[in-house]
Amino acid sequence: MLVSLEDIDRWLTEDIGAGDLTALIVPAETHATAKVVTREDTVVCGQPWVEAVFARIDPQTRITWSVDEGSWVAAGTQLCELSGTARSLLTGERTALNLLQTLSGTATLARRYANAVSGSAVTVLDTRKTLPGLRKAQKYAVRCGGCQNHRMGLYDGILIKENHIMAAGSIHAAVQQAHALGADVPVEVEVENLAELTQAMEAGADRVLLDNFSLELMRQAVAINAGRLKLEVSGNVSLDNIADIAATGVDYISVGALTKNVQAIDLSMRITLVQ
């Protein structure tokens, strides 16, 4: 299920608590419409969450979207119009906009990274460096922006890092133990130099993560690997250098900034009373 009602209830409780005191100054029978406008260029993302928030508060609230989910729109564009009781619109405003602005910000940044490697064969991935409580939503937003997901969590992929190797005794031992689990998920090894790359290849890893490699070392790694397994790059990736990294011939580039450095989009909601 894309949107968890348990999450919606938790986010609403966080904001409303025992009740929206300010909304009580508005008569219960007052109806209104509201328009949501973006003040910035953005990829629109989060419509299902906005709908779930207002449906939870008042199922009679109606939302008409003016733009498609995942579309790029210019500053000043109206995103949607809502209609319902004024109290419901006021109470749901902050929670709904928090989600819409954060997910749109995530999708917008992902679109910029995807555009930066357009024309290459590389795939840009996110990481587990997500905002607490928003992992599934942010990873959805990354896809809306045109990038792809790495692991959702620790349960759907194996990524053997330095501390795992230390605890297991060696790269070979760690990879063999990972395969012995029979988990039917990719086994990836993070390496810090070309010698470790060779060890991971010989151990039977499915993918290797080149951690903080220079561009020259990336090119050497691609030559050594010669297409035997998938190569991923991580560390110090930015919009300024991602095209150069893609040109080395690696298969994946993972970018923590997609979800941890996100800047929310500036949105505005204005209410008009229905006479």
Distances (CA, A) of 103 to 90, 109, 121, 233: 21, 10, 26, 25
Indicate if 260 belongs to the active site: no
Indicate if 190 belongs to the active site: yes
- 89: tokens are 């619109």
Indicate if 139 belongs to the active site: no
Q: Which of 40, 126, 190, 196 is catalytic?
A: 190
Q: Which of 128, 129, 136, 230 is catalytic?
A: 129
| DSSP characters over 163-196 | HHHHHHSSHHHHHHHHHHT---S-EEEEESSHHH
For 116, phi then psi, to 5°, come to: -65, -25
Q: Quick check: helix, strand or coil at residue 270? A: strand
Which positions ≥6 away from 263 have C-beta within 8 Å? 105, 109
Q: Which of 211, 230, 260, 266 is catalytic?
A: 211
Indicate if 211 belongs to the active site: yes
- Give dist(CA 179, CA 164) in Å, integer: 14
Indicate if 151 belongs to the active site: no
- Give dist(CA 42, CA 72) in Å, integer: 6
Q: Which of 35, 112, 135, 161 is catalytic?
A: 161
Look at the block and give the residue holding tokens 């297991």: 168
- 25: tokens are 């100054």
State the Cα angle at 251 between 119 and 264, rounded to 5°: 70
Active site residues: 94, 129, 161, 190, 211
